[in-house]
Amino acid sequence: MFFSFSRKDAMDQFACYCASVVLGFWKTSSLSRFVPTLKRASLLACVLLLSGCATQFRAQVSSQHTWPPANLPATLQLPYRFASDSQQSNEERLGLEQQIDKFLSMQFWQLTDGQAASPAVLELAPSYHKTMQEKRVWEPYYIPMSVPIRTNNGATIWTTQMIYGGQRERLIRTYEMRLKIDLFSLTAGQRSAQPVWAGEASTVSGVDNANAVLPLLLEALFKDFPGPNGQNRQVTIELSR
């Protein structure tokens, strides 16, 4: 899984690609048997080091709030309920609410069923959207070819080299995934006219998997909650955990 946002990410991915090409070259080349064992071990270590890149998820996050609301309880758990006027389909809504409940339960938020023993003090209204963009690009490609090489003692050995084969078209699909959550204060079961906290997180990547991206968007959105008011920021999450 990769997520690409910055020039650094592109360089990291290119380094990983180069590392894999180098490793493949030494595996297929007849020259590999002439390389001392120590040098081959050093090369492999460098390849493994480079291949450990691209382990960050980045999202653009914004939030506006008048937090905290006056009715917050002085308890560890924060009872809430979901809004009933969601614009998502029933299946999408159920999946989204399950993802949110799973995440918030680890943050000591408590989804309540409306019982008087634990009345909700917040109403949560989530929405999730995904858009796809396509871009056609021309890229160079290379063909493996056996090439003779003459050694110092006059012997001829064959090695494999990557020869430029021209340009070919490639279709690149990227997906923008956007998660928005509004929190309303509840007083006697009636929610406030305006949200006391409104947050949005978005990411663009080549990953078309909402189940994989949604938990990361949630983590980015609620990182350092409630977050700076009225500011856009980039949140980075390490994936090598």
Would you place residue 151 in the very low, low, confident or very high pLDDT band (cuts 50, 70, 90)?
confident
The confidence score (pLDDT) of residue 49 equals: 41
Q: Which residue has the higher pLDDT, 49 or 103?
A: 103
Range of the domain at 25: 1-54
Whether residues 103 and 1 fall in one domain: no
Please state the rounded mean pLDDT for residues 66-79.
75
Residue 63 burial (C-beta neighbours within 10 Å; 0-12, 13-18, 19+): buried
Share of the chain above pLDDT 70, in %: 71
Asked whether the beta carbons of 79 and 122 are under 8 A apart, the reply is yes
Say whether both 187 and 230 belong to one domain.
Answer: yes
In this structure, the answer to whether residues 46 and 101 fall within a common structural domain is no
Residue 34 and residue 61 share a domain: no
Q: How far, in Å, CA of 35 to CA of 126, rounded?
A: 59
* pLDDT tens digits, 88-133: 678 888 889 999 999 998 887 888 765 545 688 899 999 999 999 9
Are residues 2 and 116 both part of a single domain? no
Domain at 84, CATH number:
3.30.160.670
Same domain, 104 and 38: no
16: pLDDT strictly greater than 80: no
Residue 194 has pLDDT above 70, yes or no: yes
Residues 30 and 74 in one domain: no
CB within 8 A of 178, min separation 6: which ones? Answer: 128, 129, 130, 131, 200, 201, 202
- One domain, residues 219 and 120: yes
For residue 159, being part of any structural domain is answered with: no
More confident position, 153 or 21 = 153
* Residues 48 and 68 both lie in one domain: no
**Based on the domain organization, do 126 and 217 belong to the same domain?**
yes
Mean pLDDT over all residues of the chain? 77
Tell me how crowded residue 27 is: count the other CB atoms within 10 A of its CB.
9
Structure-model confidence comparison of residues 225 and 8, the more confident one: 225
What pLDDT is attached to residue 134? Answer: 93
Are 49 and 62 part of one and the same domain? no
pLDDT at 214: 92
Average pLDDT over residues 17-33: 44
Measured at the CA of 13, the angle between CA 215 and CA 20, to 5 degrees, comes to: 120
- Count of domains in the chain? 2
Rounded to two decimals, the pTM is 0.65
Could you tell me the pLDDT band of residue 21, with boundaries at 50, 70 and 90? very low
| 54, 81, 99 - which closes a domain | 54
Q: Is 179 exposed, middle or buried (0-12, 13-18, 19+ CB in 10 A)?
A: buried
Residues 75, 13, single domain; the answer is: no
Write out the DSSP string of 193-227: SS-SEEEEEEEEES---HHHHHHHHHHHHTTTTT-
